[in-house]
Structure 1
Amino acid sequence: MEKSAELEVPRPSWSKGENETVSSAATLREIEGGQLADTAPNSSGTAAPDGGNQTTDSTTGKLEEGAENTDYVTGYKLIILLFSITMFFFLLMLDMSIISTAVPQITSDFHSLEDIGWYSGAYQLTSATLQPLTGKLYARVSAKWVFLFFFFIFEVGSLLCAVSQSSVMFIIGRAVAGMGSSGLQNGALTIIAGALPLEKRPVYMGFVMAFGQIGLIVGPLIGGVFTQYVSWRWCFYINLPLGGIAGVFLAFLNVPDQTTRPQVSFALLRKIIPKLDLIGFAIFAPASIMFLMALQFGSSEYPWNSSTVIGLFVGAGVALGIFLFWEHREGDDAMIPFSMVRKRIVWVSSMQYSLLMTTVFVLAQFAPIYFQSVKGVGPSLSGVYMLPNILSGLVFVILSGVLVTRLGYYLPWAAFAAGGTSIAAGLISTWNPDTTTAFWVGSQILYGVRGCGIQAGLIALQNSLTPAESAVGIAFLIFCQNFAAAVFSVVANTIFTQTLLKQIATLAPSVNPADALAAGGSAAAVRALVPPGSPDLDNVLLAFANSFDTVCYLLIASACLSFVASWGMGWVDVRKKKEPEKGEP
């Protein structure tokens, strides 16, 4: 057999300093969709398994810095790692939703109804703002230690919330917890990517994300139980022991990175800090904060045409323009490298994932309001009523992960998830005070089909980006999700409140619309708006149901847009390709 020709293969990386070429007697895997496949030659001239670009030091035999690591986690260590990451993911999702049923009691204890928007807004602001910066850290420092650093901040924020003695202290705690959360979701996915070979990731990511979704959905149930029978403070105390156990397990595990990284040291920190694009972050942070504050203020405290709201929007726009100019100037060293983001697979996958996750967050926020205000159940039972959504979503996430691994293609599942979710959201938008149990259970089961597409964007990125790009790519995707969640949560709240004001004025003119808005969504408060036995009660309940239905139109639109985006992700087979037998050409 003839010796392979010498090839000059450009290393697929966006980072400066990594664009050098690799010269070897290269054995290349097939080319799919016009892109170089994952397997590239290593320094010895043999193909690294699972697409690794392994480079070894000829004197020590160890992988050089930046080489792809294929020393994956197996056996009981993998079980412990998955337990830890799943627990972290569960607590993160739980923290996002558990507050929903606790807020009424918190505002009563602190006499702070006017601060209600900041209880979730402060968390979303800091989380979304720091998100892009965390990707730069994960790309340069060992993922395990970066992850534990952010989780420590998250735990400190949870403790501050649990012991708060004032509304201001509680808001500060939520902001600190949001800072910690900014590096957790993308960090968990980055750790899994380093611990498992590419073809096994869909199953395990599906497992982790499925249980994470349980945390998001059961949050209102757990928060209702704590608030009703113990104290709302336990909604945050719960993060400390559970997170502490998972953190200890993770700290003592040897967690490999996708590419070899230097050991954490002060010298390393001095080396990488200038490469983090802190100037870009300093410009981006106020831009995102002003934009989200404008949405928060415009939906609650100020009219949309007020000078405060308009000024915040203008300030955000100016800061965004300066940020884009700076990022273009920085090129591949930017916090959000345009050379990577402009790749179709990156922005399409981020759009598909963000829009689909929006349907999760918004329904989790407003379904308890429907069950409590319209159906008249308590906080605990409203969480129980969402179990069909929880269980079906769990089944579909795990099922899709297994089938993607076996069948190879993620695009059909992304499209199926978005299409099924849009139909289910349409059915949910017809809920009214007389909706039967069978109907709201069945429509929630169908809504769980969204689980089929939850991990599609992540799989697409990991199969298209190099290991060096993966951490920043995932961080950008999670940033888009968090920013979309922050924006659409405010938009959904505006839709609900404005619709409720109009519906109350039309259907129950004897009730002051402002009183209906101030009553919140609890069963007792809504029914206290009219005298006992009043015929206006049915119209009040109908007004709340109609307002909830209007929010569902946002879910339909989000799912439909996710359906459109899914078709841009490409038909890619993610199964491991069979390596040629020895002696074959």
Structure 2
Amino acid sequence: MASSDRSASSRHSLEKDVEKEIPLPQEHVTPVPQPATVEELKGAAEIIPEAEITPEAVEEKWLSGVKLWLVMGPLILVFFLVLLDTTIVSTAIPDITNHFNSLADIGWYSASYQLASAVLQPLAGKTYVYFSNKWTFISFFAVFEIGSLLCGVATSSKMLIVGRAIAGMGTAGLQNGAMTIISACVPLHKRPALLGICQGFAQLGLVFGPLIGGALTQYTTWRWCFYINLPIGAVAGALLVFSRGVPDAHSKPPAMEVFRDLHHKLDLIGFVLLSPAIIMALLALQWGGNVYAWDSATIIGLFCGAAGNLLAWSAWNWWKKDDALIPVSMIRRTRVWSGSLVVGFLMSSLYIFVYYLPIYFQSADSASPTMSGVYMLPNILASLVLAVAVGKAVQIVGYYTPFSIASAIFMALGYGLCSMLSPTSTTGEWVGFQILSGIGRGMGMQMPLVAVQNGLPPAMVPLAISLCMFTGMLFGAVFLSASATIFTNSLRTFIVQLAPTADLDAILTAGATGFRKVISAEEVPGVLLAYAKSVDRVFYLCAALAALCLPFSFGLGWTNIKKKAQEKKAVAEKPDEKARIEV
């Protein structure tokens, strides 16, 4: 009887604990919002010390039906605008440099945007931990819109660069913010489908950017490449402002309490240490081989400065432990660092492919800039269809890791086949190769983002997602720089071999669509083949990056995320005292 009373008392005490918030060190979070397995609870225990967690399900009011799509609609629209903004300026740059006589600033129109976005990614993740998902997302979107407006009304090249940097600051909290909100709207087993839809439609922005930018520049003015964000953004912003259905996955402390201790809550010292490291590394990659030689004092100094700052930040981050900008116990989890690396390699291969395939079409295949974008639709549409279909398949099967593994295989195969493209390649070949790579990307792009959320308490989800986004952007910058070096060196080598009488410097200056004006008709076939072979070399890098996704995909874990499987495990793990998890 005494034992029974003690058991009842213990049960009553634990039930009361479930109703309380589970404290992170100096943070406020609620219990894991889904039926938790032993593995998940142990994972949470690494991040939430001295907390009592039970495997009973914690009831949450998830969104569905119209309420869900009223939130998803503007998120997809904003995600589309963000990716559109990364490429729309590419076809407008010639007119912009002519307008401002600013050819020397051409690299900064893209670099300022990427630098600002990359630097703020980790801090943006921290912001979503402490402030409302809805108003944090809207705030970042407002910054993005202000940056777009400044670009549109720019009266000088410097003003345009500042506007691009402000827009980049806004985007830092939009991609990871959209995914954070989705994770708060639906349970884990439904997230792959919604993440796939969001990312699939957003990728259309990468392809349509040059098309829309070219049309707006040709028929109106380059300023509409930035103004276009304002009316579309106003619609998305209004839907979000007046929506009452944007949830938070965990309770947030009062805003004034956060502001009183802002430097500690957001780890602003860690941010100040990490930001210069990112900026110096990205500047070295932007300038190396273009503005300065790779062995110049400037580039070497930037790399050394980046390394020094990174070491200082690493020591600080280790000392801060779970209060750090990137919590130590989170990044030590296999799912988190494996998922971040998969995102990094996958997004790097995507950026390179999207950048260099139009160069192949415009040079070797003589396509116009507009048609080169149209020719990429097989890749994007295949990716969109598979992203949605595989998201649903994960709901049915319950395991995401097999799809990530298959994704790496299909991408590596597709990109590898694209490295065989030549001026004589048929339409069936470049369409088929694109479809294979699109299938691979569609199968895998949302899987690491689901994996890093699995087993994490809700308060850690924004940080894990922001780490993935940061890795994708950083790796993208690194490998885009590497691809530019590969392409330029290959082009120089092949032109000398295949068109020895052609003026090499004139060809390089004229670019992929203008070289025909500076060479003779006899030299055209050799230059076309040189361009095709140089792009092929870049696609070798794409295939290698896709293949690197394969080994790290095995680190994403093999937990069944189906609702019934989780509930079954939760029931099997329900206590007697021996089965309880004590943290």
Same fold? TM cut 0.5: yes
Q: Secondary structure at 1:218's aligned position in 2?
A: helix
1:242 aligns with 2:232: yes
RMSD: 3.0
Task: Identify if the C-alpha distance between structure 1 residues 297 and 582 changes in structure 2 by more than 3 Å, giving closer, same or farther.
Answer: closer
Within the candidate set 568, 576, 582, 2:555 is matched to: 568
Contact 2:499–2:527 (CA<8 Å) still a contact in 1? Answer: yes
1:482 maps onto 2:491 in alignment: no
> How far does residue 563 in structure 1 lie from its aligned partner after superposition?
1.2
CA distance in 1, matches of 2:325, 2:117: 16
* 8 Å contact from structure 1 (residues 370, 545) kept in 2: yes
- State the alpha-carbon separation in 2 of the partners of residues 152 and 527 from structure 1: 44
Q: CA-to-partner distance for each residue in 1:71-109, whole Å, 9 max, x for gaps?
A: 323332222111110101111111112223333333333
- What is the aligned partner in structure 2 of residue 404 from structure 1? 394
Picking from 51, 71, 76, the partner of 1:86 is 76
| SS of residue paired to 1:488 | helix
Equivalent of 1:530, from 513, 519, 535?
A: 519
Give the Cα separation in 2 of the matches to 1:418 and 1:44: 39
Given the alignment, which residue of 167, 185, 201 partners 2:175? 185
C-alpha deviations, 1:506-564, integer Å up to 9, x for none? Answer: 2223333222222122x2x1211213xx2101111111111111111110110010111
List alignment gaps of at least 5 residues for structure 1. 53-69
* Contact 1:13 1:468 (C-alpha < 8 Å) held by counterparts: no
1:466 to 1:108, Cα distance in 2 relative to 1, 3 A: same
CA distance in structure 2 between the partners assigned to 1:189 and 1:292 by the alignment? 25
Q: How far did residue 483 of structure 1 move?
A: 1.0
From 483, 487, 494, the equivalent of 1:496 is 487
SS of the residue corresponding to residue 253 of structure 1 reads: coil
Report the Cα distance in structure 1 between the residues aligned to 2:467 and 2:43, rounded to whole angstroms.
23
Q: 1:36 to 1:287 in 2, by over 3 A?
A: closer
Distance 1:399 1:236 in 2: 33
Deviates further, 85-94 or 367-376: 367-376
Pair 289,14 (structure 1): closer, same or farther in 2 beyond 3 Å: farther
Deviations 1:230-258 (A, max 9, x none): 33322211111111110111011121100
Instruction: Map 1:106-255; keep pairs closer than 5 Å.
Output: 106-254=96-244, 255=246
The 10-residue stretch of structure 1 (109-118 or 150-159) with the greater mean CA deviation from structure 2: 109-118
C-alpha contact 1:225 1:379 (8 A) present in aligned 2? no
Is the CA contact (8 Å cut-off) linking 2:30 and 2:458 kept in structure 1?
Answer: no
Q: What is the letter of the counterpart of residue 153 of structure 2?
A: V
| Structure 2 gaps, min length 5 | 576-583
Q: Distance in 2 between matches of 1:37 and 1:288?
A: 30
1:413 aligns with 2:413: no
Contact 1:104 1:520 in 2 (8 A): no
Alpha-carbon distance in structure 2 between the residues aligned to 1:124 and 1:44: 42
- Number of aligned pairs? 555
**Aligned match of 1:31:** 38
Distance 2:37 2:329 in 1: 25
Cα deviation 1:43-91 (Å, max 9, x = unaligned)? 9999764x56xxxxxxxxxxxxxxxxx2323332222111110101111
Q: Aligned partners of 1:145, 1:424: CA distance in 2, in Å?
A: 41
Q: Helix, strand or coil for the counterpart of 1:420?
A: helix
Say if 1:427 and 1:154 are closer, same or farther in 2 by CA, change over 3 A.
Answer: same
Deviation at 1:395, TM superposition (A): 0.6
Q: Do the aligned partners of residues 241 and 29 (structure 1) sit closer, same or farther apart at CA in structure 2, a change above 3 Å counting?
A: closer
Q: 1:501 is aligned with what amino acid?
A: R
- Higher RCO (C-alpha 8 Å, min separation 6): 2
The 5 Å alignment of 1:49-448 reads 49=57, 51=58, 70-254=60-244, 255-262=246-253, 264=255, 266-448=256-438
Write out per-residue CA displacement over residues 444-467 of structure 1, whole angstroms, 9 at most, x where no aligned residue: 111102111000011111112111
Structure 1 vs Structure 2: percent identity of aligned residues?
44
Contact 1:140 1:272 in 2 (8 A): no
Q: Which residue pairs with 1:459 in the alignment?
A: 450
Question: How has the CA–CA distance of structure 1 residues 540 and 83 changed in structure 2, closer, same or farther, with 3 Å as cutoff?
Answer: same
Q: In the aligned structure 1, how far is the partner of 2:524 from the partner of 2:274? A: 48
Report deviation, 1:6.
3.6
Is 1:331–1:337's contact at 8 Å kept on the other side of the alignment? yes
Cα displacement (A) at 1:353: 1.4
Equivalence for 2:579: none
- For residues 165-191 of structure 1, the C-alpha deviation after alignment (integer angstroms, 9 at most, x for no partner) is 333222222111111111110100011
Q: What code does the residue aligned with 1:285 have?
A: S
Q: 1:37 to 1:296 in 2, by over 3 A?
A: closer
Amino acid at match of 2:549: S
State yes or no: 1:472 paired with 2:447: no
Q: Aligned partners of 1:481 and 1:527: how far apart in 2?
A: 36
State the alpha-carbon separation in 2 of the partners of residues 176 and 124 from structure 1.
11
Task: Describe the SS at the equivalent of 2:560.
Answer: coil
Residue type at the aligned position of 2:463: V
Aligned CA distance change for structure 1 residues 104 and 374 (closer, same or farther; 3 Å): farther
Q: 1:520 aligns with which of 511, 522, 533?
A: 511
Q: Is the 8 A contact 1:29 1:37 kept in 2?
A: no
Give the C-alpha shift of residue 392 in structure 1: 0.4
Deviation at 1:201, TM superposition (A): 1.5
Q: Which amino acid aligns with 2:509?
A: A
**Comparing both structures, which one devotes a greater share of its residues to helix?**
2
- Matched residue SS, 1:577: helix
